[in-house]
Structure 1
Amino acid sequence: MSTPISASSAGSAATAAGAPAPAAAWPITLRDVTVTYSSGTRALRGITLSIAPGEMVSVVGLSGSGKSTLIRTINGLVPVTSGSVVVGDQDVSQLSGRGLRELRGSIGMIFQGFNLAERTSVLSNVLVGRFAHSPAWRTLLGLARAEDTRIAAAALESVGMLERAWHRAGALSGGQKQRVAIARALAQEPSVMLADEPVASLDPPTAHSVMGDLRRINDQRGLTVLVNLHLMDLARQYTTRMIGLREGELVFDGPAAEATDADFETIYGRPVQGRDVLGKAV
């Protein structure tokens, strides 16, 4: 993707524009949501919950508990078998085609595997977040508007990655790649931010740094943020509310800081182990 500005002008544009403009945060409501895959596996079983605009929520559970399925029903990546998912004023389960694409344009998504185009520049990767706001012909030709480039540069600056804007994404460390992924989601100017195991492949200091970025985004921009985790200390430290899933069922919903080891044992279905705690940043 080409861009009409130089490295120096990217920095000045970011400084002048500031962070991408905050969008109004959206509520999320799941009503009796069940997801059964074609294999017969029931990933979610009658989940009902409401998330207020601007909440910072962790979804905690072991592998196979339904965390990823739940978070992906919110942007329609996983269709529900029954029940409804309402994001803002849109019933996701009733959307398809253009309507679903437009909704996804307002929902930022951060993946465990980063999902970056590693042979292209950091800035080009972040500009992908502007596709939903750009004419189709510009997207096909890889021509970014000056305004989109300013927003992308500001998003990079907000996660401390602007100086890497012209580096090849594949040359970055894991933590740097995840910050670029966060910047890409921010460039959408979203109303909801979803993060699916964003620190699973990171070392403890980097994981704490990425979680700190997500909490700061929640604090400063008021975005509704949902983050999937399996580490109890990160859930307690960085989120205000915790939802616990076990075998597709909701088994805990309460303030994250007040969750006890017994609560985590209920979620995990076994005693707490050392691998359930990441440890302190150094």
Structure 2
Amino acid sequence: MSTPAERAEAGVAPASASWPIRLDGASVTYPNGTTALRNVSLSISPGEMVSVVGLSGSGKSTLIRTINGLVPVTSGTVEVGPYTVSGLSGRRLRELRGHVGMIFQGFNLAERVDVYRNTLVGRFASSSWLRSLFGIASAEDREIALRSLEAVGMLDKVWTRAGSLSGGQKQRVAIARALSQKPSVMLADEPVASLDPPTAHAVMAELERIGVERGLTVLVNLHLMDLARDYTTRMIGLRAGELVYDGPAAKATDADFEQIYGRRIQPQDRLGAES
């Protein structure tokens, strides 16, 4: 089996629409006094597939949410493509978010609505305010939504109510919704945490394939070491909000993971142990 790096080299080159990400001394302290990120500096090139690994409370979700402005930094800067996120608000912040696809652990789908309309939500950022207000889709929007569903193998479920889908199918719809934005960056916050091992592997393989085929910049939060090694080309390790590892994911040793976790490796740190 080829490595993610070898598969990336065999795929298309990063698209010109893909954006770099740069954090320079980024720190986040919440109003309750908790410091979630401490002076994190890193650069991610367009088209990279990067995992952010760490235990619960390590700062993974905070880091990924600084990139689309859901969590503002309290010091330092975050740059995504042409935007300095730490200085954005209002219309400019909405513009940025229109270019950044986001996939959540809990899917964030409208359960009573069909798959098509859930996917179409991704087009609202590119629609006029009047179309968005009344949920009116243009012919182009409809075509993009359907193509996004086809890309993740969910076109046959287009009129199925989202609430009746399996967990893996829901996550695929969430990926399609993010793809329908035609994003320059894709963020995934623990996208497989609630899935069984076979489905988790399938979803990660889907993210990897899409990233390679479209040359997308993909940043995915994980806590499982085998998924990071198998599906991402680069791994960033966080512990207590600090950057403690940054290197090739496939070459990360058990000792590297123990440094990230701040303890010895346990069975639950590997996906296979959860089957």
TM-score of Structure 1 vs Structure 2, range by shorter chain: over 0.9
- 3-state DSSP class of the match of 1:33? strand
Partner AA of 1:188 in structure 2: Q
Q: Gaps (5+ residues) in structure 1?
A: 1-21
| Maintained 8 Å contact 1:30/1:50 | yes
- 3-state DSSP class of the match of 2:96? helix
| Maintained 8 Å contact 1:34/1:44 | yes
- 3-state DSSP class of the match of 2:111? coil
Match of 1:116 among 86, 109, 121: 109
| Maintained 8 Å contact 1:199/1:207 | yes
Match of 1:73 among 66, 76, 90: 66
Shift of 1:89: 1.6
Shift of 1:140: 1.2
Distance in structure 1 (CA, Å) of the matches to 2:242 and 2:25: 11
| Maintained 8 Å contact 1:35/1:81 | yes
Match of 2:76 among 83, 86, 94: 83
**Which residue of the partner structure matches residue 227 of structure 2?**
234
Partner AA of 1:141 in structure 2: F
Runs of 4+ in 1 over 3 A off after TM superposition: none
Match of 1:178 among 144, 166, 171: 171
Match of 1:101 among 94, 97, 105: 94
**Which residue of the partner structure matches residue 12 of structure 2?**
none
Shift of 1:23: 6.3
Partner AA of 1:198 in structure 2: P
Match of 1:164 among 152, 157, 163: 157
Residue 23 to residue 213, structure 1, CA distance change in 2 (3 Å)? farther
**Which residue of the partner structure matches residue 249 of structure 1?**
242
Q: TM-score scaled by structure 2?
A: 0.93
What CA deviation, in whole Å up to 9, does each residue of 1:150-173 have, x standing for no partner? 100000000000000100001101
Partner AA of 2:27 in structure 1: T
1:53 aligns with 2:65: no
> What is the total number of aligned residue pairs between the two structures?
261
Match of 1:223 among 202, 207, 216: 216
Match of 1:132 among 125, 143, 152: 125
Match of 1:147 among 137, 140, 152: 140
Q: Gaps (5+ residues) in structure 2?
A: 1-14
**Which residue of the partner structure matches residue 251 of structure 2?**
258
Distance in structure 2 (CA, Å) of the matches to 1:95 and 1:190: 18
1:275 aligns with 2:271: no
**Which residue of the partner structure matches residue 193 of structure 2?**
200
Q: TM-score scaled by structure 1?
A: 0.91
- 3-state DSSP class of the match of 1:257? coil
Shift of 1:145: 0.8
Partner AA of 2:264 in structure 1: P
CA RMSD of aligned residues (A): 1.3
Distance in structure 2 (CA, Å) of the matches to 1:66 and 1:197: 12
